[in-house]
Amino acid sequence: VNRLLVDHAHCELKAAANALSLAARHARDVDLALALTDLAREEIAHFQRVLGALAARGLSCGPPPEDGYAAALRQFAAKLPRSPHASPLVDRLLIGALIEARSCERFKLLADAIGDDGPHGDLRALWKEFFASEAQHYGTFVDLAVRAAAGDRPWTIARLEELARIEAQIVSKLGLEDRGRSRATVHG
Ligand SMILES: [Fe+2]
Ligand SMILES: [Fe+2]
């Protein structure tokens, strides 16, 4: 649990930083910038909550670990064929959606794995709350991607599925490289 908390703190901060850098790059699009900065604010709040949980255990957060996952996904996305609405922004938003979906799944597993009255009962409530908010973040990223793809939802969902197939390959490869370290490679 301790290692997971330390790793997770960085995931939250990375999610906030990613949303902020996208917002900065597309600040001319006011709705997009507002949605992304709202999301960043929530991720920063998550980071602070995790720091609190760490402090309550007398732990602190070291420097961030290397994370090949998001970078690998972006590299692959750049090589995908250019179809009608494809743009770097759409792909970044869809990758954001995938990362949120994974972290959502992860919190569900974590919340289910922790009993209410064990030593980490406090974390159960936290994971459940994060689960709900990551599910919302997923929806936000998908909606923003549809919007960036000229409102073409079927095309956007097909692109998301294409990226998800690539993601599955990356995750299984990282899983092999990371063997024994049990580090989460995805954001929360
Ligand atoms: Fe999130
Ligand atoms: Fe989060």
pLDDT digits (tens, 9 = 90+) for 78-111: 888 778 898 999 999 999 999 999 999 999 998 8
User: In this model, does residue 76 exceed pLDDT 90?
Assistant: no
Q: How far apart are CA 125 and CA 105, in angstroms?
A: 15
Q: How confident is the model at residue 183 (pLDDT cuts 50, 70, 90)?
A: very low
Let me know: does 40 contact 16? Beta carbons within 8 Å: yes
Q: How far apart are CA 186 and CA 96, in angstroms?
A: 10
Query: Ligand 2 centre from 24 Cα, in Å?
Result: 19
User: In this model, does residue 179 exceed pLDDT 60?
Assistant: no
* Least distant ligand from the CA of 48: 2
- pLDDT reported for residue 177: 64
The angle, 0 to 180 degrees and rounded to 10, between the axes of the packed helices 30-56 and 2-25 is: 160
Query: Ligand 2 centre from 93 Cα, in Å?
Result: 15
Within 10 Å of residue 64's Cβ, how many Cβ atoms? 14
Q: How confident is the model at residue 178 (pLDDT cuts 50, 70, 90)?
A: low
Average of per-residue pLDDT across 9-22:
94
**Residues flanking ion ligand 2, Cβ below 5 Å:** 12, 43, 46, 188
Average of per-residue pLDDT across 123-149:
95
Q: What are phi and psi of 179, to 5 degrees?
A: -50, 130
Instruction: Output the pTM of the full model.
Output: 0.86
User: In this model, does residue 185 exceed pLDDT 50?
Assistant: no
Burial code (b: 16+ CB inside 10 Å, e: under 16) for 29-53 equals beebbebbbebbebbbebbeebbeb
Query: Ligand 2 centre from 82 Cα, in Å?
Result: 31
- Three-state secondary structure of the chain: CHHHHHHHHHHHHHHHHHHHHHHHHCCCCHHHHHHHHHHHHHHHHHHHHHHHHHHHCCCCCCCCCCCHHHHHHHHHHHHCCCCCCCCHHHHHHHHHHHHHHHHHHHHHHHHHHCCCCCCCHHHHHHHHHHHHHHHHHHHHHHHHHHHHCCCCHHHHHHHHHHHHHHHHHHHHHHHHHCCCCCCCCCCC
Q: 52-65 pLDDT, tens per residue?
A: 999 999 998 888 77
Average of per-residue pLDDT across 111-125:
82
Q: How far apart are CA 23 and CA 66, in angstroms?
A: 24
Q: 155-169 pLDDT, tens per residue?
A: 999 999 999 999 988
Query: Ligand 2 centre from 125 Cα, in Å?
Result: 14
Q: How confident is the model at residue 172 (pLDDT cuts 50, 70, 90)?
A: confident
